[in-house]
Structure 1
């Protein structure tokens, strides 16, 4: 198809895409219930313990039984990755990139079946699920192109100005070794494949640990890499794994670096752990966000309502970039809230594999219970729930973790403006002017994404003042969400990130390498 799927274009796909997804969903549903092992040293490893994984859409839908790793599997995976490292890093750039570009092709070839599997595993609607898998293929291609464009980060420097001698200089970036990738539940395919691609392109080998609720995505990615011809041990998958497995991986003496996506608390603990050794080890951590949007009195409110609702309620608010707080000028606050309430009430919630559904369930029991605990807090301290605020239990929805998208008008002093909820809950505060809005936006210790709707002068001011790594202006496709490799680098400021370099940016691949200066006198 000529249609290019990204998170910006996903709202108007061709009919063929729906037909192919429906066929894939039928195939995938017919194949559920299999037993899946770990992937260590190029082999499928069956462990002593297996855990069933069920879909958040329907608790009776058993996706499969997945091997449970322990510390001995961590040791085995790290040993396999370590043994494969020297051979992998010494492959020619052309050889390494050819394998990884083949992996991208295989992911794209399987995008519909794997998209249907991701929808079942996470509860994403079909377009979000297809987008995640396609994004993973694009990560592989983008990083291969970037590494090639930078000539492998091997730079010839001027010779020393010595009379009678030839003294040559080079700057060479080299891989670290075994790289750990710890993956969140909300993007178990893309936030595995993205950092894995970056680590492998730059010559590292990888051990991955997924989230306990989403091991299937990691297994499918491992199959793609194996089928692409990746040598044994270059990539190893520990499945969903427990917190104990994650700690064993991060603290392993032969793990050279870590990429982590998840909570601020865990991300900070990993960074401290990686500093607590004979030398500091690199960490690339994306640690969530409390993302905000400012709507000025000059905003196009129709555009703002679309962008706000898409960012707040896409993937049931479970994106680290999801919009959770809006600050609106008092002159247009009443109209914006009225429009947002109608838009929120109109969103179709249900089985996300149904093409008419916009919002599926939250992904985990913990999130479902947290939603129920938070709702009474929303109505306290001056909060007014304008839409949603309840679980959905009618008919088939009673079998899953379904909640209503929720809109709350609350004074800016409400305590929940400061807490990352990771739920389909949007809070809106009225402000007197843009300076008051900016003070509230920047008060958060997190700084991942931010959006604005206003005129050009307000936009210029906003981009100059806001403390966030990813910004969007007057965007109906998503007020704070929708980054895609090659189009929008994605990384946080302050407590949302630790490197100052964004995913898929000009500067990202270098984070997986260390520089060696080489001076040779002939």
Structure 2
């Protein structure tokens, strides 16, 4: 987003999330001497103070926001309260995967595991709910649990680590609350515990839950954790309806060897970035330079994806000039 603003000739204030400032700092430090002085301005601080100051400033012509839906929508309303100004937002997801009886279950279990637990589920494109056809549910779950049990959990700087810590103690509290709900209203088939063997870092187990009511908050609310909910379906139409039954529409995936099902999925799924039979990660890892990344519904405001042909135009404004003799 910052790059889009700079490429189109704007000056930019880059304000990272309070808990994760370093990558943004290094980005700003790398490019600051390659662009005009003052073109990029890096500031840190609490969102309630620094973020609010930016949103309420009359000197800010537009905002590009990445974060939760609540903060995004509240910011959008405040920023456009007195006048219409551009507000580009990417606001998370509750991303589904459909696994049909026609799926290659080895591919499906691998793709779901990687999408759900890569980066500890701390990415907006993470798979957090799976709808698997009843005919193959038992076999799929067996493969998924086996793969998830074998994940290497350790410090993130080790090359063979797959799952590192969650970001902070707030995330651990959210994990514990989710686990308590899952135990009360569903069935935990893997995980559900904190890992206490590390002196530093907030480690939790990758967790898989079944038997939740279809409209349960663990199925509808974004958690940003290594936490996966599994449900079953009878027919394909039901699967599409369940996948679309969300206020979000960021990413989605399907595993099926039936071409007609794949065509129907692409036609009917309500998400901006969608995948079929992606073993390396069922709902994640769009290459922005070749695959525009975009969210529908409550996952985004403009519907114009990063890396797409319309994205940079959002950082520009047009002017019609007429010169008469």
TM-score, normalised relative to structure 2: 0.96
Which secondary structure does the structure 1 equivalent of 2:202 belong to?
Answer: coil
The yes-or-no answer on 1:393 pairing with 2:196 is yes
Per mean C-alpha deviation after superposition, the further-off stretch among 240-249 and 498-507 is 240-249
The CA deviation at 1:412 is 4.6
Per mean C-alpha deviation after superposition, the further-off stretch among 242-251 and 319-328 is 242-251
Deviations 1:361-384 (A, max 9, x none): 001211011111211111222x21
The yes-or-no answer on 1:357 pairing with 2:161 is yes
The CA deviation at 1:293 is 0.6
**Contact 1:327/1:430 (CA < 8 Å) preserved in 2?**
yes
The match for 1:288 is 92
RMSD (Å) for aligned C-alpha atoms:
1.2
The match for 2:13 is 207
The CA deviation at 1:312 is 0.1
Which secondary structure does the structure 1 equivalent of 2:203 belong to?
Answer: coil
The match for 1:373 is 177
- In our comparison, the structure showing a higher alpha carbon Rg is 1
The match for 2:125 is 321
Which secondary structure does the structure 1 equivalent of 2:13 belong to?
Answer: strand
The match for 2:242 is 440
- Consecutive unaligned residues of structure 1, counting only runs of 5 or more, are 1-194
The match for 1:404 is 205
The yes-or-no answer on 1:341 pairing with 2:145 is yes
**Contact 1:213/1:240 (CA < 8 Å) preserved in 2?**
no
- 1:16-27 equivalences under 5 Å are none
Which secondary structure does the structure 2 equivalent of 1:380 belong to?
Answer: helix
Deviations 1:392-448 (A, max 9, x none): 112xx2421000111112245233111111100011101111111111111101100
Match of 1:312 among 92, 116, 121: 116
Match of 1:420 among 208, 222, 228: 222
The yes-or-no answer on 1:517 pairing with 2:320 is yes
Match of 2:101 among 297, 313, 316: 297
CA distance in 1, matches of 2:22, 2:303: 31
Moved over 6 A (4+): none
Please identify which structure carries the higher helix content.
1
Deviations 1:34-86 (A, max 9, x none): xxxxxxxxxxxxxxxxxxxxxxxxxxxxxxxxxxxxxxxxxxxxxxxxxxxxx
- Consecutive unaligned residues of structure 2, counting only runs of 5 or more, are none
Which secondary structure does the structure 2 equivalent of 1:325 belong to?
Answer: strand
CA distance in 2, matches of 1:314, 1:239: 27
CA distance in 2, matches of 1:357, 1:420: 25
Match of 2:285 among 467, 482, 492: 482
**Contact 2:187/2:210 (CA < 8 Å) preserved in 1?**
yes
CA distance in 1, matches of 2:117, 2:67: 19
The match for 1:236 is 41
**Contact 2:121/2:225 (CA < 8 Å) preserved in 1?**
yes
CA distance in 2, matches of 1:481, 1:448: 10
CA distance in 1, matches of 2:213, 2:252: 17
CA distance in 1, matches of 2:109, 2:87: 37
RCO comparison, higher one (Cα < 8 Å, 6+): 2
**Contact 1:218/1:239 (CA < 8 Å) preserved in 2?**
no
The CA deviation at 1:475 is 0.4
Per mean C-alpha deviation after superposition, the further-off stretch among 488-497 and 403-412 is 403-412
The match for 1:28 is none
- 1:125-136 equivalences under 5 Å are none
What is the total number of aligned residue pairs between the two structures? 323
Deviations 1:250-273 (A, max 9, x none): 110010000000010111111111
The yes-or-no answer on 1:221 pairing with 2:22 is no
The match for 2:2 is 196
The yes-or-no answer on 1:507 pairing with 2:324 is no
